[in-house]
Structure formats: C-alpha cells, structure tokens
C-alpha cells in the first residue's frame, strides 16, 4: 500500500470494497470456535487475495462474550508475506 500512499494514485491502491468482501467471506464462512482461527484465516485470505499487501494485521473482537465477566474479548494477529 505504500506506493499508493506515496503517489496518491488511486490506481495503485488496494480496492477497499474487495478487501471488505474478502473479510466478509471468511467471517460468513464455516463457523469457528476460536477467535484466533477467524483472525488467522482472515489474514491469510487477505495476503493470498491482494498481492499489494506485504503485511496484514487483523483484530477480531467480541463484545460481551458469553461466559466471561468481560466487556470484550479480542485477538490480534499479524502475518507477513515471505
């Protein structure tokens, strides 16, 4: 994404609508027990689907998680393309 930020050129930017659609596809896919699984699957899908991304940070949070005395539960994962 850095080239787009440097040039301010929309044609070199990541398509945010396509990125959001990829996230929705993972989140709306097969159910996961762990937030960790959702975060890793999402990050992998973004790296696989968007060549312009070299690093992805995904944060998944659930507000008022059942069975926990907490306002939210969250996991954050960062994956870097090799």
Identify the CATH number of the domain in which residue 75 sits. 3.30.1130.10
User: 53, 43 in Cβ contact below 8 A?
Assistant: no
Structural domain including 44 reads: 2-80
| Cα 38 to Cα 12, 13, 35, 43, 59, distances in angstroms | 28, 25, 5, 9, 9
Q: What angle do CA 41, 57, 43 make, to 5 degrees?
A: 15
**Alpha-carbon span 42 to 29, nearest angstrom:** 11
Number of domains in the chain: 1
pLDDT in tens, 51-79: 989 999 999 999 998 888 999 999 999 99
Whole-prediction pTM: 0.84
Confidence label for 9 from pLDDT (cuts 50, 70 and 90): confident
Q: For residue range 31-43, what is the model confidence (pLDDT) as tens digits? A: 999 999 999 999 9
């Amino acid at each position: 994404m850095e080239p787009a930020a440097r040039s301010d050129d929309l044609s070199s930017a990541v398509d945010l609508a396509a990125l959001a659609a990829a996230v929705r596809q993972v989140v709306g896919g097969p159910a996961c027990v762990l937030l960790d699984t959702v975060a890793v699957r999402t990050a992998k899908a973004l790296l696989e689907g968007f060549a312009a991304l070299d690093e992805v940070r995904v944060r998944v949070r659930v507000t008022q998680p059942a069975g926990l005395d907490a306002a939210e539960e969250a996991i954050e994962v960062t994956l870097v393309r090799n």
